[in-house]
């Protein structure tokens, strides 16, 4: 019972945060589905290894995000479609994309 209540609370909190960011249904599905999939986790590991576990823009060895340069092959990404970036460089790359 407590676990069910906690699960519902977490789901509602997650929904609130996502809605507050004004994400589209596609973006929510991408974050909650695809980015949590086993396939994506394997692709992410391969890209991090290829990048030498450092930001490909600034060279920092901090927690890295994997940035999609294109979504044309989403689910069938080539490593060349991706870029390992620190959070700061990832934010800058996303701003340039818009």
Report which of 76, 81, 10 is spatially closest to residue 37, judged by C-alpha positions: 76
Question: Alpha-carbon distance 6 to 15, whole Å?
Answer: 14
Indicate the domain borders of the chain. 1-32, 38-98
pLDDT tens series, the chain, 98 aa = 666 777 777 666 666 665 566 778 888 888 888 889 999 999 999 999 999 999 999 999 999 999 999 989 988 999 999 999 999 999 999 888 76
Q: Kindly report the number of other CB atoms within 10 A of residue 9's CB atom.
A: 10
């Amino acid at each position: 019972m407590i676990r069910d209540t906690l699960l519902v609370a977490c789901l509602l909190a997650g929904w609130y945060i996502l809605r507050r960011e004004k994400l589209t249904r596609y973006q929510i599905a991408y974050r909650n589905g695809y980015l949590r999939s086993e396939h994506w986790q394997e692709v992410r590991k391969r890209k991090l290894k290829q990048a030498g576990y450092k930001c490909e823009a600034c060279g920092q060895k901090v927690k890295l995000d994997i940035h999609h340069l294109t979504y044309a092959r989403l689910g069938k990404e080539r490593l060349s479609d991706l870029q390992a970036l620190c959070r700061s460089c990832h934010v800058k790359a996303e701003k340039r994309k818009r």
